[in-house]
Amino acid sequence: MGFWQRLQEYRDREASLRWEGTFRDYLELVRRKPWICQLAHSRIYQMILSAGVEEVNGRRRYLFFTRELFGLEEVIEKLVEEYLRPAAEGLDVRRRILLLVGPVGGGKSTLVNLLKQGLEEYSRTEEGAVYAIKGCPMHEEPLHLIPPSLRPEFEREYGIRIEGDLCPLCRLRLETEFGGRIEEVPVERIFFSEEKRIGIGTFAPSDPKSQDIAELTGSVDFSTITRYGAESDPRAYCFDGELNVANRGIMEFMEMLKCDERFLWNLIFLAQEGNFKAGRFALIYADEMIIGHSNETEYKAFIANRRNEALLSRMIVLRVPYNLRVSEEIKIYEKLLRQSNLKGVHVAPHALRAAAMFSVLSRLKESHRQGVDLVKKMRLYDGEEVEGFTPADVEELRAEHPDEGMSGVDPRYVINRLCVALTASEGKCLTALEVLRSLKEGLDQHPSITPEDKERILSLISLVRREYDELVKKDVQKALLASFETAAQAIFERYLDNLKAYCRGIKRRDPLSGKEILPEEDFMCSLELQIGIGETAKRSFREEIFFRLSAYARQGKSFSYRDHEGLREAVERKLLADLREMLRLALSSPEQGRLEEVKERLMRLYGYCPWCAKEAIHYVGSMLCS
């Protein structure tokens, strides 16, 4: 199918979405599709639900946000469940301003942009269709044409409660153009668009001396005064302020608390009563979700000023911290890199993980709990199993520092340094070591990093380097042994065979001779020592494994070495220790065939390219041979 054919299909589809009719026709639509006249908060809530909801680890995951936001599931759940859901049900929460507070680069603007873009797309669907009085600058709900005295009867017949009144211009038009005959007023389907200023408004603070309140509420068109005779004539007024055009949709206040006070005062009545003052008119009704965002410094200064109490009481504050999960942080960098022009450069395994570990570690706070360091805390937060810890322990760690994630290195700095490292790679490959080097070199250019912060961050880079060393070491050593999984499972089954005989107090049968022999105590101890299980703790450890093995058997499930975190680590360490000598021999041998095999496996199994595979082999070899 060619481009011109697709273009024609696009035009046909756009034409099929348009609808025009009279108010009488609109009422027939309302009878068949009552959802078309829902209020703004309800429409936004339904838009989010329409994208789908999943249950993950007892938490609701809203798929609407998953394409752009990562690691903010708790924030999103609060937004939907504690603000949008009750607001959609008509509760008083909808008369509150939603303020997102968090560090720079935490995802506040992205969250708002997702809502705005989503609303644009949703208004083009059947479920999200929106209709308005044709020619109304505020895209008004046509049901406002029904006189207040007839609304109770309408509600009984249609089951729909009408909220709001006509804007000054529509009220004048109804009287002068239509003689009060509401059934003849034209209605059209509208489509939300930030670009066309339909249903989505955006206000950004600037110089308070030059910024005019008209940007919010509209202004008098002085060129029409001589024609209409008075500033109070609605035809002489431009209802084109951001609060006007955002009616039926979303009003965003960028860096809200940086706005001059006189701009925020307009929100007091809008937040509480759903009305705002414009020109020489009575209060004008507006149905819109007001959402602002600001950093924590501005927020603290705002709440410290007692003059702001009236507005503060009309706000719901939602904190948006940095992501604290390494796996989700990697997704952020993958998304940002996909949007760049450097798509041809290969990113080595663990390169983005190294950057993500660095970011997350900088945001974590030291735990007061004994035996919990930052690296262990990072793994627990990312959902990894750590021996001796349960999900309840993770919740206790989170409760230690409620403000955790409100400071640290922001993703923008990391992606800036990744871009520098990608450019410097000259098209070869971006490795984890290059990433860490770039992060370290850029610290002097970061304006908010103090000398004390720099010393702490440098120590974090060293921590990440050690973590990376273990990761790349495992990759190379696994690649050295083609059947790593088979060998690991064999060691594990040998251990289980001995463990069952030990716990039952019986002898085991030798697989070769068939004779009954004692459990291999030396072999079992050598495996257990890999994870620090000594003589005094071995019995309780073995009994715990035996109990789990029995539970799996009762359920008819097989027990793999990966089903127990401690055993998995012990088996891998035992196997990798045996492989070190093999790698030393391979690197020192004049025959390079074995190294080529290892390189090929790294590329095929773990995503390395020829260049970074070779670098990884020699890097690990230098560590083992030193």
Q: How many whole angstroms separate alpha carbon 252 and alpha carbon 266?
A: 14
Q: Residue 76: phi, psi to the nearest 5?
A: -65, -40
Nearest-5° angle of CA 298, CA 299, CA 304? 100
pLDDT category of residue 626 using cuts at 50, 70 and 90: low
The highest-confidence range among 62-71, 100-109, 185-194, by mean pLDDT, is 185-194
Which residue in this structure is represented by tokens 């038009």? 173
- Give the strand order in the sheet containing 186-190: 20-22, 186-190, 130-133
- As given in the structure block, the two tokens for residue 463 are 């921590």
Residue pLDDT, tens place only, 577-614: 766 666 666 665 554 566 788 888 899 989 999 889 98
Which has the minimum average pLDDT: 506-520, 547-561, 586-600? 586-600
Which has the minimum average pLDDT: 71-75, 137-141, 142-146, 562-566? 562-566
DSSP 8-state symbol, 79: I
Residues in the chain, overall count: 626
Q: With beta carbons less than 8 A apart as the criterion, state whether 242 and 302 touch.
A: no
Strands (E), 230-387: 237-238, 250-253, 275-276, 284-285, 289-294, 315-319, 346-347
Q: What is the 3-state secondary structure (H, E, C) of 158-183?
A: HCCCCCCCCCHHHHHHHHHCCCCCHH
pLDDT category of residue 184 using cuts at 50, 70 and 90: very high
Q: How many whole angstroms separate alpha carbon 374 and alpha carbon 363?
A: 10
CATH pick for 16-319 out of 3.40.50.970, 3.40.50.740, 1.10.10.10, 3.40.50.300: 3.40.50.300
Q: Tell me what pLDDT residue 343 has.
A: 63
Which residue in this structure is represented by tokens 């303020």? 99
Residue pLDDT, tens place only, 346-359: 899 999 999 999 99
Residue pLDDT, tens place only, 109-132: 999 999 999 999 999 999 999 999
* Predicted confidence (pLDDT) at residue 71 exceeds the cutoff of 60: yes
Residue pLDDT, tens place only, 416-429: 899 888 888 776 78
Average pLDDT over the chain reads: 87
* Predicted confidence (pLDDT) at residue 188 exceeds the cutoff of 90: yes
- What CA dihedral angle connects 28, 31, 35 and 37, to 10 degrees? 60
Compute how many other C-beta atoms are within 10 angstroms of the C-beta atom of residue 258.
Answer: 15
* Predicted confidence (pLDDT) at residue 300 exceeds the cutoff of 80: yes
Tell me whether residue 412 is exposed, middle or buried, using C-beta atoms within 10 angstroms of its C-beta: 0 to 12, 13 to 18, 19 or more.
exposed
Q: How many whole angstroms separate alpha carbon 495 and alpha carbon 487?
A: 12
Closest CA to 509 of 526, 494, 523: 494
Q: How many helices (H) and strands (E) does the chain have?
A: 27, 18
Domain ranges of the chain: 16-319, 326-471, 484-588
* Predicted confidence (pLDDT) at residue 160 exceeds the cutoff of 90: yes
Q: Which helix (H) or strand (E) holds 407?
A: none
pTM higher than the cut 0.85: no
- What CA dihedral angle connects 203, 207, 213 and 217, to 10 degrees? -10
Distances (CA, A) of 360 to 105, 326, 377, 464: 14, 6, 10, 11
Which has the minimum average pLDDT: 138-142, 208-212, 516-520? 208-212
